[in-house]
Every structure is written in C-alpha cells, then in structure tokens.
C-alpha cells in the first residue's frame, strides 16, 4: 500500500518538492527512486525522515510496529528533534495504540499535530489514487493543520472523510472492514450455494448486481474466480488484501465491539473463518476473498458451464 501511495503523492505535489522515504525493504525504496529520480531521497530510518520532512506519513502492518516507529527509545521518531510539524499514521491498528502515541506526541512535542488516517480501497485503490481515507479529525475549522493534512491526503485518495476526532478514523475503518469482511463471507457462501444448486455463477452475480444483494464486493471483488476479470480471485487470488491482514483487522473490530459493549451476532464466527483461512497453506498470503476456496467453493465451475452460456 505504501509504495503506490507514495508514488501518487510525489507525482502530484508541486515541482521542487522532495519525498523522504524509509522502508525495511530496500527493494521497495529502490523502485520508488528509480521511478521518480531526484524527487525522492532514501533515509536510513523513520527517525531520519522526521528530521527532514515537514509532514510525515506512516503506514505499518500492526500496532506493535507503530509503537516501535514512534516510541522506540533509540530509533523512535519522537525521541529526536524533528523538522516535522504534522504526523499522520495511515495504519489500521487498535485505537488504544493510536491514543497512546498521540499522548506521547503531545507530551514530548506539544507544537506537533498527530492524526490517524487509515485507508480503504486495497492495492488497486492505492495505485489509482482512489482510496477512501478516514481522517481522525473534525472539519469544523478549529484545526489549523487540517487544510495541509486534507490537501495531501487528497493526492492519495478520491474521498477523504473527516470522522470527528482523534481515533475516530480508526473506529470507522474497523467498522468498515468488519462489514466488508462479513459481506465477502456471505457472498462466497451464497455463490457457492448457487453453483452447487446448478446455477451459472455469472448469472447469479448479475442477479445480485440488480437486486438487494448488490455490493462492491460482488461487483468488483467477487470471491469466485472468473466473475470479475480484474479481481484477485481471477488471478489465483494474488494481490489484493491478504487474508491474514483481514483476520487482524477483523480481530481488532471484534475487540473494539467487546470494549464498547456492542452486541455481535456474526462477529465471532467471521473471525474464526478468517483466522482459520489465514492459517491454511492453500489460502495464506492470498487475497482475503480466498475464503471461497476455504469453504470448498468450486473454482473450476467454467468446466461445468459452457463459456458464454449464461441462460
């Protein structure tokens, strides 16, 4: 996610701007510098990035990584003098970690503003600059840094939604992934029921698209191979949003529900499905819609239905 987001950012900022980058993968940094040349400067640590950049974006897999990048006594961003005046974390993590980092920012660097801004749209959205970005900030005009943050995020996403305050961007993202994860499971199960009943899944997908089962998951990210040509499922489930990341996000959403006392009817079963799929060697490291494979869906359905025959 970070690579295409950074590429969009440096492509759209004013000429003469410099993007300072750091990633544990030297290969990814090399790809970005090869593409954008002198506009990109590689650094040896996140701390070095913060020494040079006025606005810092972080995108990390888990809360523990966010803590390390910001709070580590030796290499953490906060344990140094910074040029940065704005820190924006785009990771999908627990709100507790977000609030802890924000508190440390306020304690150690009072003039600096910290925001949570998780994203939705997957690698395809990151590449096309069409992400939805959920910003933990109010748009009531009280935040002096808001125009800067909103403007830069808009270069990486087509929709920046202000969610009300610190931590609310993450709350929105966890609710979104909880919902989309359940929709993907339901779509996989429903499509499988149809195929097992003798129905051409292409026809069933058309029914869903014009009926009450319509969803972006069904229309663009269908779990059944061959329904959506550009979906990961049609590319052996490669690319997209890894099933173990969905298991992580879904677990965070379930934990958030428990913390606030919100009743769930589907959450625990959904979490078990994604956890088990993420541990299955036939599913691990593949797109989360691989749950169709996990439930035993027929990926070779085209041998049963003649190509182009959609009666």
Q: Half-sphere exposure (CA, 13 Å, Cβ side) for 14?
A: 2
For residue 101, what is the enclosing H or E element? helix 95-108
Tokens of 172: 């929105």
Neighbours of 205 (CB within 10 A): 21
Write the CB contacts of 31 (distance below 8 Å, at least 6 apart in sequence). Answer: 3
From the number of C-beta atoms within 10 Å of its C-beta (0-12, 13-18, 19+), residue 116 rates as buried
End-to-end C-alpha distance for the chain, whole angstroms? 40
Catalytic residue among 35, 67, 106, 173, which?
173
How are the residues of the chain apportioned to helix, strand and coil, as percentages rounded to the nearest 5? 50, 10, 40
Asked if 244 and 262 touch (Cβ cutoff 8 Å), the reply is: no
Bridge pairing between strands 119-120 and 131-135: antiparallel
Distance CA 20, CA 4 (A): 15
Among this protein's residues, is 173 annotated catalytic?
yes
Query: Angle at the Cα of 43 (from 41 to 46), degrees rounded to 5?
Result: 125
Asked if 289 and 232 touch (Cβ cutoff 8 Å), the reply is: yes
Asked if 214 and 183 touch (Cβ cutoff 8 Å), the reply is: no
Active site members: 173
């Amino acid at each position: 996610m970070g690579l295409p987001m950074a590429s969009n950012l440096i492509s759209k900022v004013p000429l003469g701007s410099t993007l300072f980058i750091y990633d544990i993968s030297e290969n990814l940094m090399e790809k970005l510098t090869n593409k954008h040349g002198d506009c990109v400067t590689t650094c040896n640590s996140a701390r070095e990035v913060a020494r040079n950049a006025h606005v810092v974006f972080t995108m990390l897999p888990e809360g523990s990584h966010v803590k390390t990048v910001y709070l580590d006594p030796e290499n953490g961003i906060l344990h140094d003098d910074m040029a940065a005046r704005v820190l924006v974390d785009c990771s999908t993590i627990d709100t507790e970690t977000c609030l802890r980092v924000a508190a440390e920012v306020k304690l150690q660097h009072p003039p600096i503003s910290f925001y949570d801004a998780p994203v939705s749209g997957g690698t395809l959205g990151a590449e096309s600059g069409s992400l939805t970005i959920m910003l933990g900030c109010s748009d009531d005009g009280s935040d002096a840094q808001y125009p800067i943050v909103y403007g830069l995020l808009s270069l990486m996403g087509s929709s920046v939604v202000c969610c009300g305050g610190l931590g609310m961007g993450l709350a929105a993202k966890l609710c979104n992934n909880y919902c989309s994860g359940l929709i993907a499971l339901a779509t996989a199960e429903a499509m499988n029921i149809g195929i097992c009943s003798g129905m051409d899944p292409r026809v069933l997908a058309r029914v869903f698209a014009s009926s009450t089962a319509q969803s972006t998951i069904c229309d663009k990210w269908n779990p059944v191979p061959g329904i959506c040509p550009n979906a990961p499922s049609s590319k052996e489930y490669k690319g997209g949003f890894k099933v173990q990341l969905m298991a992580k996000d879904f677990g965070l959403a379930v934990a958030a529900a428990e913390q606030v006392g919100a009743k769930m009817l589907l959450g625990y079963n959904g979490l078990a499905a994604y956890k088990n799929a993420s541990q299955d060697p036939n599913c691990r490291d593949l797109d989360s819609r691989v749950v169709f494979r996990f439930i035993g869906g027929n990926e070779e359905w085209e041998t049963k239905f003649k190509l182009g025959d959609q009666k």
